[in-house]
Chains A and B, each alone.
Chain A
């Protein structure tokens, strides 16, 4: 027996001024299932709530409709009120006769019947409501940070400072990321490694942080609070515990290749540390080129190692671990500027990228900090910088603005003048985007020291008599211009890691058309993703500079910390639910689910005398966010959304169309 109580609110004159509340109450009393109707001046006030509690008890109400304001305003209030009277809170429904009725109409003869309809809808729905119970899930208070660049380091430090365990997974042999390759940073020109290396050391020495280098995430399953992660730690061929980082092995190694850290401008050995301040400060053997592995000979490093740390037999380790939250800080990479045939990168050695120039400027770089052009080692007198190479170009690259290039080019121009007094710098630009604290001033400084900014894109570059002829347009003059340059620096765009989509699939998060990970909301949820418990930090989400990356990393850390601050998570009970008896196992629902919350489940059941096994859809209530897309995709009508069931909505439709 259903016993519904309807509480019609006057909201002072807000409702009662336009809606004949008495009439609504009168009509409500006639609706099927309604056993009690009451009017209140202000239902949300303490006396109003008391009267609901009293009525629930006195009239043994098992459903409640509050005809008042928007559920977005007071649904929680009345649910709590009902719960305090012992009623399941999901048996309360609101009829919005204020925002959707009294406030938008002025004629009582129109507003009153509409209000009655609205109440009838709510009554029809609540009649089919069932008690729902939120479940709780425990939270594993360990965070996984994928990527050991400045974003990952910052996020890990912040989380660890709050007292939670963090694991950083980095695929390179050291943490530090792109920032470690930079010489100085804008707009303050402080030395990149001077501010980064202390943080790297902090992370390495923090008792709450574990750093896994040469490691990658292979698989992630589970859901917020309970991620199962499979990690692979590639063999370093060095016993890290024994190694003292004396470096003798490196000096004796006979094999070398282009150094990735120096952007191919210098070489490194087969046993190597990417740079002297690497963390962990242990060498790694590159098995692709090491003669012991390629030819079965050599083994010099093992012979010379005083502490016996070289271990050729080391094998990859696979770790299965549980984490409560994941921070993706996988970073970005540099656009392959070879796409610009007209600039001749790759054919003309003195056409280089911004990151390569960083290595040429850096005192730890292949030229010990002297800017020398790659072709003949001469000091360049005239350097041309070309902006937007690969960015703002949908023809050869990407349409987006890469954001950091304007500033790093201004920095390069300033550093060039510092390193080579009297050198001239030309910057071909289209717009200078210097929106940041002290950025415009920094750009102006680069102009004031004599950098010539030319507004226009360069059309082509060709070599002639030891110079590079750079042909562009000064669109402000409306004239073609030509510069005879010694060195050309292309401001290559920041682009997503090549394997970003693969990582996104592992994480169950979405990514945009370029491969940058998508945040849950571009304005209001910038570090969250569609998958609860997975957060974003740094350039994996889009191009950004160091200050922004660090800010975002700290923001992601806060999100992790606030998740860990609760001992368990309460889930929203308005989730999808499968009627296994109807489900045909077509799993169309899996395709539309944005949260990967639907899995295939094999069930065994008896059909007559036989036992049959078949597959059905199964909802992971930890992942389901209750959007209901699956219910429409389900052709069997087996999928339903608790709190918004098909039966409830159809009843609402019929109640309104009477």
Chain B
């Protein structure tokens, strides 16, 4: 058993901390995974804006590769998660489109396994079981869990949790001993997909979200999305700057792993300062 690991393009680039920390956590917990060999881009965030069929066929290639390995496909990236699940859903519910896509790829797809997010995998492992592995409690760290869009919407296929009132990430994070603050904007969109094309707009969205987190007492934001992380990290212009961590970075820290191995040293907003101040790193 185990999982086929699909990092996606961002995790090989701007979000390399997420790749590092994800692998570190999986290794530490003893969850088996193999990187999907010769994986290709899932098309996010362009294909679905250009061609409905291409938006399915690009992720489909990866779904098929994983099915050939007979493993469920798992990805830390939420954009990939959304595209992979969207394609999986379309291939199973739209026979006409499925025929077109699968003929082009010269392969078949049964869709035995649903593509998963790394959070699904950690959740399958069990929050309690994760908690048992924690060696360094992140006590007094006040965290705002930020879900963003792609894990929760559209609920038709991206259904990691309740789209309006999710709570799974909080449960995971609280196993580390950190306190998840209750704040209302954890599903609000940060506008990451417009980060390059409409930067001004995105700055105002990111700043607002970070401000709201700060107003509810958070000292940092934790997310599972490389786009959200990059966007909130780069685009926040508020008075209080909050570091933005990946879930896997905080978990890794709580497992007692080296901050450097988790990529904590390469954030835009200093990620180490807070941790040092709290004597957590």
Residues of A within 8 A of B (CB): 340-342, 344, 347, 460, 462-464
CB-based nearest B residue for A396: B164
**Which residues of chain A are near B163, meaning CB under 8 Å?**
341
For window 118-170 of B, CB contacts with A under 8 Å fall at 162-165
Is the pair B165, A347 in contact by a Cβ cutoff of 8 Å?
yes
**Which residues of chain A are near B164, meaning CB under 8 Å?**
340-342, 460
Residues of B within 8 A of A (CB): 162-165, 184-185, 215
**Which residues of chain B are near A340, meaning CB under 8 Å?**
164
Closest Cβ of chain B: how far from A345's Cβ, in Å? 11
Please pick, from A341, A344, A462, the residue contacting B185 in the complex, using a CB distance under 8 A: A462
Is the pair A462, B165 in contact by a Cβ cutoff of 8 Å?
no
**Which residues of chain A are near B184, meaning CB under 8 Å?**
344, 462-464
**Which residues of chain B are near A344, meaning CB under 8 Å?**
165, 184
**Which residues of chain A are near B165, meaning CB under 8 Å?**
341, 344, 347
Bound CA–CA A462/B185 (angstroms): 8
**Which residues of chain A are near B215, meaning CB under 8 Å?**
464
**Which residues of chain A are near B185, meaning CB under 8 Å?**
462
Bound CA–CA A344/B215 (angstroms): 19
Closest Cβ of chain B: how far from A375's Cβ, in Å? 15
In the complex, 15 of the A-B residue pairs with CB atoms within 8 angstroms, ordered by the A residue number, are A340-B164, A341-B162, A341-B163, A341-B164, A341-B165, A342-B164, A344-B165, A344-B184, A347-B165, A460-B164, A462-B184, A462-B185, A463-B184, A464-B184, A464-B215
Closest 8 CB pairs of A and B: A341-B164, A462-B184, A341-B165, A342-B164, A341-B162, A463-B184, A341-B163, A347-B165
Bound CA–CA A344/B183 (angstroms): 12
Bound CA–CA A462/B182 (angstroms): 11
**Which residues of chain B are near A462, meaning CB under 8 Å?**
184-185
Bound CA–CA A464/B164 (angstroms): 17
CB-based nearest B residue for A463: B184
Bound CA–CA A341/B184 (angstroms): 11
Bound CA–CA A342/B152 (angstroms): 13
**Which residues of chain A are near B162, meaning CB under 8 Å?**
341
Bound CA–CA A342/B164 (angstroms): 5
**Which residues of chain B are near A342, meaning CB under 8 Å?**
164
| B163, B184, B215: most-surrounded residue (chain A CB, <10 A) | B184
**Which residues of chain B are near A463, meaning CB under 8 Å?**
184
Bound CA–CA A112/B185 (angstroms): 82
**Which residues of chain B are near A464, meaning CB under 8 Å?**
184, 215
Bound CA–CA A464/B215 (angstroms): 9
Q: Other than the known A463-B184, A464-B215, what 9 A-B pairs have Cβ atoms closer than 8 Å? A: A340-B164, A341-B163, A341-B164, A341-B165, A342-B164, A344-B165, A344-B184, A462-B184, A464-B184
| A340, A341, A344, A347: most-surrounded residue (chain B CB, <10 A) | A341
Closest Cβ of chain A: how far from B220's Cβ, in Å? 21
Bound CA–CA A437/B115 (angstroms): 57
Bound CA–CA A342/B184 (angstroms): 10
CB-based nearest A residue for B163: A341
Closest Cβ of chain B: how far from A342's Cβ, in Å? 5
Bound CA–CA A344/B187 (angstroms): 13
Bound CA–CA A324/B53 (angstroms): 64
Bound CA–CA A462/B165 (angstroms): 11
Bound CA–CA A341/B187 (angstroms): 11
Bound CA–CA A340/B164 (angstroms): 8
CB-based nearest A residue for B215: A464
CB-based nearest B residue for A469: B184
CB-based nearest A residue for B216: A464
**Which residues of chain B are near A347, meaning CB under 8 Å?**
165
CB-based nearest A residue for B164: A341
Bound CA–CA A341/B162 (angstroms): 8
CB-based nearest A residue for B165: A341
**Which residues of chain B are near A341, meaning CB under 8 Å?**
162-165
Bound CA–CA A344/B165 (angstroms): 8
Bound CA–CA A464/B213 (angstroms): 12
Bound CA–CA A464/B162 (angstroms): 22
Closest Cβ of chain B: how far from A636's Cβ, in Å? 40
Bound CA–CA A415/B195 (angstroms): 49
Bound CA–CA A463/B183 (angstroms): 9
Bound CA–CA A463/B216 (angstroms): 11
Closest Cβ of chain B: how far from A469's Cβ, in Å? 8
Bound CA–CA A342/B165 (angstroms): 8
CB-based nearest A residue for B162: A341
Closest Cβ of chain A: how far from B30's Cβ, in Å? 35
**Which residues of chain B are near A460, meaning CB under 8 Å?**
164
Bound CA–CA A73/B96 (angstroms): 55
Closest Cβ of chain A: how far from B136's Cβ, in Å? 32
Bound CA–CA A464/B208 (angstroms): 14
Bound CA–CA A91/B162 (angstroms): 69
Closest Cβ of chain B: how far from A482's Cβ, in Å? 13
CB-based nearest B residue for A339: B164
Closest Cβ of chain B: how far from A158's Cβ, in Å? 47
Closest Cβ of chain B: how far from A420's Cβ, in Å? 27
Closest Cβ of chain B: how far from A350's Cβ, in Å? 14
Bound CA–CA A610/B149 (angstroms): 75
Bound CA–CA A464/B183 (angstroms): 10
CB-based nearest B residue for A346: B165
CB-based nearest B residue for A348: B184
Closest Cβ of chain B: how far from A430's Cβ, in Å? 20
Bound CA–CA A341/B185 (angstroms): 13
Closest Cβ of chain A: how far from B213's Cβ, in Å? 13
Bound CA–CA A341/B155 (angstroms): 13
Bound CA–CA A460/B162 (angstroms): 15
Bound CA–CA A506/B106 (angstroms): 56
Closest Cβ of chain A: how far from B127's Cβ, in Å? 21
Bound CA–CA A341/B164 (angstroms): 5
Closest Cβ of chain A: how far from B167's Cβ, in Å? 11
Bound CA–CA A311/B184 (angstroms): 52
Bound CA–CA A460/B185 (angstroms): 11
Bound CA–CA A268/B215 (angstroms): 39
Bound CA–CA A340/B163 (angstroms): 10
Bound CA–CA A344/B184 (angstroms): 10
| B162, B165, B185: most-surrounded residue (chain A CB, <10 A) | B165
Bound CA–CA A463/B165 (angstroms): 14
